[in-house]
Structure 1
Amino acid sequence: MQGKQTHQRELFSTIDLESFIPKDHLLRKVDKLLDLEFLYGLTEELYCVDNGRTSIDPVLFFRMQLISYLFGIESDRQLCRDVHLNLAYRWFCRIPLYQSVPHHSSLTRIRDRMGESRYQQIFKLMLLQWQKQGRFTGKQIVVDATLVKANASMDSLVKRENADPNARVLKQYEKRYHDFQHGKRKRRVANQTHVSASDPDATMVYRKGTDGGLKYKVHYSADVKTRIITDCYTTTGSTHEGPILPDRIDYLCNEMGFDVQEVIADRGYGRGPTYSAFRQRKIRTYIPLHDARLGKGKLTPTEFRYHSETDRYQCPEGYFLYPYEKLDNGMIKRYRITGGHCRQCPRRADCLPESAKNRARFVYRSPHQHEIDKVRVRQETRAFISKMILRKWTIEGLFAEAKQFHGLRRARYRGLQKVSIQALMTAMAQNIKRIVKQSPSIYWLLKKYLSLREEILKVQNYLNYFRRIPKFFPHEAVSA
């Protein structure tokens, strides 16, 4: 018998949104995990106490932002539409069916009002909550950085000498770097000569294996065992990651209270000042040296003898390398063989790298050469190599996940502070996904067992104390 559905619009209906949400839904697990009551105190000073209309609940705003980054919704307009239609999103945001969703422009205003500093505090408070729960330790830290495409085109480049990059009139009359006829040479551009009128904070980056353009750089540090992101820091794309590493580890130790004992990073962080800084902090590092291509051949720099009296090196063939130039603001010296001796040297094939067969060999020397020599020996050991293998899938996998599923491949907003907000929210979304997947038997049950055991021992000690007093337990005292 064929069925036929009849439809009559209901004037009144009572619906329990929670009954529609599967028990294994991600948002149901996230809802059990989160405790966002601290947001009211964190944002209290942004609102007037006794004047103005009632604002959007800051917890509601943050829950909507979490949905955006957990499910890769990059547009505020699309986010509001999805929350309006998706029952799971409505339930997570505590929005009944009869209540309207906040307007997308309100989300933008609230985000700008909160600023980067409050997002950083939210990220910090969440980490401290999870650390108290025993979710991670933070003793072993792996660090790395990735480039994020800026929300600006190379067409927006203008000359720096024209001062105000925000002036729209300047963009109309400025001849851009590629607006030349065919057959003419393109104008060279660099961060020192040009700036983006759309996003002045974005800088040009050209790296082998990647597309050149305007970019930002996001720095992650993560716990090795759990892969929970412990620090997220955003800089311009041209900022080198090496010099800022000691400061970020100091932030974890001083501001977050972590007991960092080990740091793992790639060769981009391999600098003499970095090794010395961590040696003073008594933190063990697994960071390979950042050797230059022309300064590294089959003959290692350790085979070149240094004469401190004359400040020169001597190669295995007896020729001397003299100071050639200073790098890194005079902190590093480069020594080079002069006189064309390398061209006639019988060990030329073993000494010079493949990319510099027609050049002379040179060697670097740093004020931190003692630390560099130690690392040069350590980086060939099996333990060091295993740490480098561990680093690849631990931290680089986080960046791949952030770009593939959470929209970090390209900046949503413009400006360093707003891109930093995007990076912080992405890191929070990744952390939440890992926390909800952790088995409670590993952390919660063990902690409860240990606390219960301590209470039992206290009760036993309390009873044993009174058993030693005859007037309370005369028979037990005599028998004892």
Structure 2
Amino acid sequence: MDTLVPKDHLLRKIEKVMDYDWLYERLEGYYCHTNGRPGTDPVVLIKMVLLQHLFGIPSLRQTYREVQVNLAYRWFLGYGLLDEIPHFATVSYAFCKRFPEELTDEIFQHILNKALNNGDDDSENGSGGTTEKTVSTTDPDCGMFVKGEHERQFAYEAHTACNKRGFVLGVQVTAGNIHDSVAWDELYTTITRRFNDIRYAVMDSAYKTPWIAKRTIDDGIVPILPYTRYKGAKGSYRPWEYAYLPEKDAYLCPQGAELRHTTTDKDGKRVYRSTPKNCRDCPYKAKCGANEKGQKLLTRHIWQFYLDAVECIRKTEDAKCIYAMRQQTIERVFADAKEKHAMRYTHHRGLTAVTRWVKLKFAAMNLKKLAVWSWKDSFLLLLSLFPIRVFHKTRHPPCLAAF
């Protein structure tokens, strides 16, 4: 059997970097060795799930069928040509009923540790409330995901962070109607507690909120976020056209009228209002958006300073260079997960089951990348034993975590 599996097959590379002894120790208490018939090797069950996620097989039922006819899969499980493969129901039962719930996260963390200890320990650049009331009758844990005017469907969201090499550092699974900025806090806390050398956090526009800007800057992490287009009425004055007067805590409109601070609302926005008698007869009243009484209202968040700092950072050359890496890191992770690892749709129901499924998916992706890179490194080491000039790799920019 061993001679039939190519030497450069992905599963050979995985076997070279993965160890399973800790799984036997971890699961020993879940099997009885003195009573009943012998159980199926737990590592074999875990390997079958890894096969499903490594090769993007839609279901365990189909994985079971593929293992029956694929020699490399049988070799990976340690089974011969005539050995009976464990039934897919046995695998499903083990993960749903027998194995502890935290096993999935432990497998993910174990593979991530191996990846980071394999020379990828530089993780720099480190996702609202629910308003949709529609509830699924088949899976109440999911939420109505709305994108644009036409796409509406029940879904889950996997809020994910990776490092500059594309290794997934953490994931937070929520219902599809939870805004990215709401799920961001828990994911950010988990990652920053574990990786204290993060210098940059690269995020998309959904995370461009005052709280996220404040927390990252206060933690000494540089937030890098994209440009967001102003959504106000066309032809009206833009907020930045109003001059702020710090000594008076007031704003001056383009026509010279003063807007004084009157109150601060529960969302942390300071409200500035103009005097109606000064604006009632202004010819630019329509352009500034004053109400019928001739009063202009302008709001500024109490943490607007942090958003202004984010804008200044965005315009630097270093920030532009680092943000451009998103297409090679987190965007590549999402694309591979959907196109190569069957993550576009899920057959599972319930937040717990979907979270377990997503973490196993990302664990398999990390394992695949680790195995391929380790095999390349060993190949380069072999080349170095011969008098062949090998060029050094270019230096990577500083550590980053992308969301």
TM-score range, shorter chain: 0.7 to 0.9
- One-letter amino acid of the structure 2 residue matched with residue 250 of structure 1: T
- Structure 1 residue 333: deviation in Å? 4.5
Q: Deviations over 1:164-214 (max 9, x none)?
A: xxxxxxxxxxxxxxxxxxxxxxxxxx733x321210101112121762110
Instruction: Name the counterpart of 2:346.
Output: 411
Instruction: Name the counterpart of 2:92.
Output: 108
- Structure 1 residue 404: deviation in Å? 1.0
Q: Deviations over 1:406-463 (max 9, x none)?
A: 11111121111111122112212221222223266769999xx9xxxxxxxxxxxxxx
Distance 1:425 1:380 in 2: 38
Q: How does 1:27-426 map to 2 (within 5 A)?
A: 27-48=11-32, 50-113=34-97, 114=99, 116-141=101-126, 191-192=132-133, 194-208=134-148, 211-224=151-164, 226-254=165-193, 256-288=194-226, 293-294=231-232, 301-306=239-244, 313-320=251-258, 329-333=266-270, 344-345=283-284, 348=287, 363-426=298-361
Gaps of 5+ in 2: 290-294, 385-403
Cα–Cα, structure 1 residues 427 and 335, in superposed 2: closer, same or farther, change >3 Å?
farther
Gaps of 5+ in 1: 1-16, 145-189, 353-359, 450-480
Cα–Cα, structure 1 residues 22 and 440, in superposed 2: closer, same or farther, change >3 Å?
closer
Contact 1:288 1:375 in 2 (8 A): no
Cα–Cα, structure 1 residues 250 and 35, in superposed 2: closer, same or farther, change >3 Å?
same
Distance 2:349 2:300 in 1: 41
Contact 1:40 1:58 in 2 (8 A): yes
Contact 1:133 1:444 in 2 (8 A): no
Distance 1:385 1:362 in 2: 34
Distance 2:213 2:49 in 1: 39
- One-letter amino acid of the structure 2 residue matched with residue 365 of structure 1: R
Cα–Cα, structure 1 residues 52 and 321, in superposed 2: closer, same or farther, change >3 Å?
farther
Instruction: Name the counterpart of 1:148.
Output: none
- Structure 1 residue 295: deviation in Å? 8.0
Structure with higher Rg: it is 1
- One-letter amino acid of the structure 1 residue matched with residue 208 of structure 2: G
- Structure 1 residue 111: deviation in Å? 1.6
Q: What is the DSSP-based 3-state SS (H/G/I as helix, E as strand, rest coil) of the residue aligned with 1:412? A: coil
- Structure 1 residue 263: deviation in Å? 0.8
- Structure 1 residue 391: deviation in Å? 1.7
- One-letter amino acid of the structure 2 residue matched with residue 330 of structure 1: D
Distance 2:112 2:281 in 1: 56
Cα–Cα, structure 1 residues 220 and 51, in superposed 2: closer, same or farther, change >3 Å?
same
Cα–Cα, structure 1 residues 275 and 104, in superposed 2: closer, same or farther, change >3 Å?
same
Distance 2:281 2:350 in 1: 50
Percent identity of the aligned residues?
28
- Structure 1 residue 136: deviation in Å? 3.8
Distance 1:37 1:300 in 2: 62
- One-letter amino acid of the structure 2 residue matched with residue 94 of structure 1: G
Cα–Cα, structure 1 residues 296 and 444, in superposed 2: closer, same or farther, change >3 Å?
farther
Cα–Cα, structure 1 residues 297 and 94, in superposed 2: closer, same or farther, change >3 Å?
farther
Distance 1:303 1:323 in 2: 17
Contact 1:243 1:274 in 2 (8 A): no
What is the count of residue pairs matched by the alignment?
371
Q: Deviations over 1:88-139 (max 9, x none)?
A: 1100011122321111111111121335522111101111122222234213
Distance 2:89 2:157 in 1: 28
- One-letter amino acid of the structure 1 residue matched with residue 210 of structure 2: G
- One-letter amino acid of the structure 2 residue matched with residue 345 of structure 1: Y
Contact 1:271 1:290 in 2 (8 A): no
Distance 1:341 1:281 in 2: 46
- One-letter amino acid of the structure 2 residue matched with residue 278 of structure 1: T
Q: Deviations over 1:257-282 (max 9, x none)?
A: 45222111012111111122122321
Q: What is the DSSP-based 3-state SS (H/G/I as helix, E as strand, rest coil) of the residue aligned with 1:221? A: strand
Instruction: Name the counterpart of 2:394.
Output: none
Q: What is the DSSP-based 3-state SS (H/G/I as helix, E as strand, rest coil) of the residue aligned with 1:54? A: coil
Contact 1:325 1:335 in 2 (8 A): yes
Distance 1:404 1:289 in 2: 28
Distance 1:337 1:346 in 2: 11
Q: CA RMSD in A?
A: 3.4
Distance 2:249 2:73 in 1: 68
Q: How does 1:391-470 map to 2 (within 5 A)?
A: 391-438=326-373
Contact 1:220 1:232 in 2 (8 A): yes
Distance 1:44 1:404 in 2: 36
Q: What is the DSSP-based 3-state SS (H/G/I as helix, E as strand, rest coil) of the residue aligned with 1:403? A: helix
Distance 1:236 1:62 in 2: 27
Cα–Cα, structure 1 residues 244 and 443, in superposed 2: closer, same or farther, change >3 Å?
farther
Distance 1:428 1:33 in 2: 14
Q: What is the DSSP-based 3-state SS (H/G/I as helix, E as strand, rest coil) of the residue aligned with 2:157? A: strand
Instruction: Name the counterpart of 1:466.
Output: none
Distance 2:6 2:334 in 1: 30
Instruction: Name the counterpart of 1:184.
Output: none
Contact 2:313 2:319 in 1 (8 A): yes
Distance 1:380 1:316 in 2: 25
Q: What is the DSSP-based 3-state SS (H/G/I as helix, E as strand, rest coil) of the residue aligned with 2:160? A: strand
Contact 1:134 1:443 in 2 (8 A): no
